């Protein structure tokens, strides 16, 4: 926080008395708020490429989503560290907090829900091949949720730092992998094949893990299972709202990034995260 001086509760009380209960109005330079948030930089990042009035909403909404992707990534990595330390209470609280972040992320789609094909067409061509499919932060989020694909790291090969991060995330445990390893350490009968595996490969659901979740829901770790279920549900909401936004604004036209657009997204929706958390409910 460059230029931001820390204040104690006592400092704030004295300032309030000196100001007569009014906010401070005089500062030596930029306000502490602007300095902390980086507002000058933040508001210079909206560089539209057309004069279409709708483009600014599209760009701002996309940038907000990118910030939330980074926040979710940070929270889930923290939850993994907490699970590795066998602190299930802290990990559950972190995952629950991330569910609220996801709700806010999903709400951002409302800023584009009015976009018609005619309005989108006013600036779509000017975006060239730019596509949300190319978001490295979103790809990292999907990898942490267990939706992994080596092929989807390739668009980032010309960006060495980003590519290294994605390849690392591809080969490391997902959040669900960390949860299963934690449950195994707690004495649950998680099969070895579910833990000692190639983390870059697709996860294969198993009846043994289903049985573990049935057992978990009868004990003190049930809140962890519910936090993960809430998270999976919010992710399903995200994908559904993405599909609906695309369906509404461009129909079944080809995507800017080279895919067949809507059909690609609809196929992606079929991949469930944390699969046994859903199938185990039939056995409870």
Q: Which residues does the annotation place in the binding site for substrate?
A: 124
Known binding-site positions = 124, 242
Which among 250, 248, 252 is positioned nearest to 240, based on CA atoms?
248
Which among 127, 68, 130, 123 is positioned nearest to 100, based on CA atoms?
68
Token pair for 98: 């991330």
Known binding-site positions for heme = 242
Q: Which residues of 180-202 are buried (b: 16+ CB within 10 A; e: fewer)?
A: bbbbbeeebebeeebeeeebeee
Interatomic CA distance for residues 253 and 240, integer angstroms: 18
Give the number of other Cβ atoms within 10 Å of residue 247's Cβ. 14
Which among 230, 252, 232, 234 is positioned nearest to 243, based on CA atoms?
252
Tell me how long the chain is: 284
Q: Write out the H or E segment, with its range, that includes residue 94.
A: helix 88-107
């Amino acid at each position: 926080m460059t230029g931001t001086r820390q204040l104690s509760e006592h400092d704030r009380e004295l300032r309030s008395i000196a100001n007569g209960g009014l906010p401070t109005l005089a500062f030596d330079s930029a306000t502490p708020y602007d300095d902390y948030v980086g507002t000058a930089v933040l508001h210079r990042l909206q560089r539209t490429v057309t004069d279409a009035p709708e483009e600014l909403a599209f760009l701002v909404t996309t940038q907000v989503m990118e910030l939330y992707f980074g926040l979710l990534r940070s929270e889930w990595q923290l939850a993994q560290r907490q699970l590795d330390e066998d602190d299930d209470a802290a990990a559950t609280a972190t995952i629950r907090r991330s569910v609220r972040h996801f709700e806010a992320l999903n709400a951002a789609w409302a800023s584009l829900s009015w976009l018609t094909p005619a309005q989108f067409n006013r600036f779509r061509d000017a975006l060239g091949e730019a596509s949300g499919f190319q978001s490295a932060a979103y790809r990292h989020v999907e990898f942490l949720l267990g939706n992994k694909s080596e092929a989807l790291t390739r668009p980032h090969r010309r960006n060495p730092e980003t590519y290294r991060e994605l390849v690392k995330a591809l080969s490391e445990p997902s959040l669900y992998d960390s949860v299963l390893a934690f449950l195994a350490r707690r004495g649950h009968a998680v099969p070895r094949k579910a833990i000692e595996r190639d983390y870059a490969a697709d996860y294969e659901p198993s009846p043994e893990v289903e049985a573990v979740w049935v057992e978990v829901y009868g004990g003190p770790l049930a809140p962890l299972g519910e936090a993960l279920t809430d998270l999976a549900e919010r992710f399903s909401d995200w994908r559904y709202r993405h599909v609906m936004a695309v369906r509404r604004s461009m129909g079944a036209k080809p995507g800017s990034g080279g895919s067949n657009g809507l059909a690609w997204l609809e196929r992606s929706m079929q991949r469930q995260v944390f699969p046994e958390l859903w199938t185990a409910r039939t056995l409870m």
